[in-house]
Amino acid sequence: MLKTPLIIVNFKTYEQSIGKNALHLARICEKVAASCNIAVAVQTADIYRISQCVEIPVLAQHIDNVDYGQYTGHTLPEAVKQAGAIGTLLNHSEHRLSLDIIKETIRKNKLQIVACAPTSEIALEIAKFKPNFIAIEPPALIGGNISISTAQPELITNTVNKVKEYNIPVLCGAGVKTTQDVKIA
């Protein structure tokens, strides 16, 4: 179960964060997790290895809205769960989905869902589907050196205010790098 306050470290698809390197990074995150809640979002191929070797929550970076059957190349939610993931990112800025697909995927899955939104308006629409968390991530700041908490603190406040009636925790992403960024977020 994911608990707030929470830091999710997305390993993305860098050479330094897959395979054996992913395990090394996950172990570092596990050490830091002694003082705060940390989860790691890893490549599908790394879920089993990492979930067997660390005690922190492991998330998939994405799942597809598919069931058992003829879906070669898709990421089956049940497969990531059996591999050891407790949840998934959904609608990340690098893998956007339509609102209909987000709704259906949230509705039929038993994984913890961290649904990403680029704006507070989209966050509100997603909140109606009742994900476990909403991560507000303006695309222009992702991968950059300026944190959402510095560049657009009002976006965080607006998002929290818009989704509060749904009682869904809001996480902040995009450019979060320093201790101060984390504290503000």
71 shares a domain with 29: yes
69 shares a domain with 99: no
Cβ–Cβ under 8 Å, residues 84 and 52: yes
pLDDT at 69: 96
pLDDT at 148: 76
Which residue type is seen at 132? N
pLDDT at 172: 87
Q: Tell me if the pTM is above 0.85.
A: yes
pLDDT at 155: 83
Residue 139 domain boundaries: 91-184
**Closest C-alpha among 81, 41, 43 to residue 59:** 41
102 shares a domain with 82: no
Residues of the chain short of pLDDT 70, as ranges, are 184-185
CB contact set of 162 (below 8 Å; sequence gap of 6+): 120, 121, 123, 124, 127
Catalytic positions are 92, 137
168 shares a domain with 103: yes
85 shares a domain with 6: yes
